[in-house]
């Protein structure tokens, strides 16, 4: 499980039911998804047996109505920020030891006319060497 998978699982457990990782699905497949996309690992320190760093995960909330996109994005960000991370800490090669979120903001209006609101989750992670 990746950091994105951990966040998607947390959101699903918090009743955000249409969560995807990796790709933004077509409006024909899912009208109003929550998409979770993982960035690259950035090392901040290295020790003998492990390295610490961060992975930024972007959460995209797609809705037909702008107010709905905004309110769902705010609720999702709050769920991530307030979560007990222990059950979601194992993220494959990483162990999540902390998270920080940005405030949700309007990202774009996609090609199908849906509103996309987004926020970033910076996962502080430890990776064993």
What span, in angstroms and rounded, lies between the C-alpha atoms of 34 and 10? 12
Residue 1: the pLDDT is: 67
The total number of structural domains that make up the chain = 1
Of the chain, the percentage scoring pLDDT greater than 90 comes to 59
Q: In this predicted model, which residue has the larger pLDDT, 47 or 58?
A: 58
Q: What is the pLDDT of residues 90-121, one digit of tens each?
A: 877 888 999 999 999 999 998 888 999 999 99
Please spell the DSSP secondary structure of 42-74, one letter per residue: EEEEE-SSEEEEEEEEEEEEEESSHHHHHHHHH
Q: Which domain holds residue 48?
A: 3-128
Query: Does residue 30 have a pLDDT over 90?
Result: no
Give the residue-averaged pLDDT of 19-30: 72
**pTM of the shown model:** 0.89
| CATH number of the CATH domain containing 69 | 3.30.2000.10
Element (H, E) at 12: helix 3-13
Question: Which residues, at least 6 apart from 67, have a Cβ–Cβ distance to it below 8 Å?
Answer: none
Please state whether beta strands 115-128 and 34-46 pair in parallel, antiparallel, or not at all (unpaired).
unpaired
Residue 39: the pLDDT is: 92
């Amino acid at each position: 499980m990746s950091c994105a998978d951990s966040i998607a699982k947390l959101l699903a457990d918090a009743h955000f039911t249409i969560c995807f990782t990796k790709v933004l699905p077509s409006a024909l497949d899912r009208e109003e998804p929550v998409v979770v996309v993982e960035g690259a690992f950035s090392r901040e320190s290295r020790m003998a047996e492990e390295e610490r760093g961060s992975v930024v995960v972007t959460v995209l909330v797609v809705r037909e109505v702008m107010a709905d996109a905004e309110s769902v994005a705010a609720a999702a960000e709050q769920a991530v920020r307030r979560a007990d991370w222990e059950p979601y800490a194992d993220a494959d090669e990483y162990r999540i030891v902390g998270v920080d979120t940005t405030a949700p903001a309007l990202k774009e209006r996609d090609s199908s006319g849906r509103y996309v609101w987004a926020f970033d989750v910076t996962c502080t992670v430890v990776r064993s060497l």
